[in-house]
Amino acid sequence: MNGIIVLDKPKGPTSARVSLCVKQMLGVKAAHAGTLDPNVTGVLPILLGNGIKLLEYFQEHDKTYVCLMETEQPFSNETITQTLKEFEGKIYQRPPEMSAVAKNIRTRNIFEIKVLETKDNLILFSAHCQHGTYVRALVNDIGKILGTKTSMLELRRVTSGPFNENETVSLTRLQDAVALKDEKPELLASIIHPLEYAVRNFPKAEVRESAVKNIMNGADVFKAGVTSITGHVVKGTPVALMNSGRLIGVGEALFDKKTIDGMRSGAVIKTKKVIK
């Protein structure tokens, strides 16, 4: 079984524990893309079976969070809005002590941060940011600008790359679907998406049937083996390798689309992962 589940992670268990639960329920390999802390809820893509090979392509997606922050004293909506706007763009962060990564200062990009609602000393805001941004550290830094202590009360991830909370399913719903898989197989089928769904936003190369065997054995994709390329392709872009609507792998573009279109021969995409 290959595929992807867009799970709504509950508060409490670690992301690794959630992946283990899915593995035990379905009896297949499972791995999550983008760790959420135990007390954080929201979008947690889980790849299944050979889909795990694609993990690296989903871990570095942009993320969007909704955070409930508390300040020691109330501030006007204007002050909060202006302060949050100061954090748009490149910021510097040191990972929190509880983090498992090295505590070196690093840069991250905040693409958009905005106030959603305020009440007394509670602020609800959203942040669209680069992967690896620590929202708890962001909350602490906001407090330093405001000149007060701030605390993160709740945090939810509402998007992870192309996946959003509207398409998530709970562990309970998955468990129920597994229990009813013989009586109502359509329930589980609606939860486990094919890998083609996972790469729906990738640029795509349609490869000829005659080239599939070599590609599945790890050979690069040559111009003669490609019937069409769609989407925005630049050198280094991950490209979904398709054959009659079926994902057979992911490669890395060796040239931009315009150059590839003008080529008559030669390798155009380096095969990185194959899905069997």
Per-residue model confidence as pLDDT tens digits over 203-253? 999 999 999 999 999 999 999 999 999 999 999 999 999 999 999 999 999
Q: What is the C-alpha to C-alpha distance for residues 168 and 170, in angstroms, rounded to an integer?
A: 7
Q: Identify the residue whose tokens are 């398409």.
A: 167
Quote the CA–CA distance of 105 and 31 in Å, as a whole number.
28
Instruction: Kindly report the average pLDDT of the chain as a whole number.
Output: 95
For residue 169, give the H/E element and its range. Answer: none
Q: How many CB atoms lie within 10 A of CB 2?
A: 20
Backbone angles phi, psi at 171, to 5 degrees: -60, -35
Is the CB of residue 9 less than 8 Å from the CB of residue 44? Answer: yes
The pLDDT of residue 239: 97
Structure confidence at residue 97 (pLDDT): 67
CA proximity to 115, closest of 124, 105, 106, 104: 124
Tokens of 147: 């000149």
| Residue-wise burial string across 63-73, b where 16 or more C-beta atoms lie within 10 A, e elsewhere | bbbbbbbbbee
Tokens 């994902």 — which residue? 247
Closest CA to 239 of 275, 204, 196, 198: 204
Q: Decide if 237 contacts 259 (C-beta within 8 A).
A: no
Catalytic residues: 37
Name the pTM for this structure: 0.92
* H/E run at residue 150: strand 150-160
Rounded Cα distance between 146 and 159, Å, is: 28
pLDDT for position 100: 59
How many CB atoms within 10 Å of residue 214? 15
| pLDDT given for residue 101 in this prediction | 62
pLDDT under 70 in the chain at which residues? 96-102
Domains in the chain, ordered, with CATH?
A: 3-59+164-196 (3.30.2350.10), 63-160 (3.30.70.3190), 202-274 (2.30.130.10)
Residue 139: per-residue pLDDT = 96
State residue 104's pLDDT score. Answer: 78
Sequence-distant (≥ 6) Cβ neighbours of residue 213 within 8 angstroms: none
H runs (alpha helix) in 217-251: none
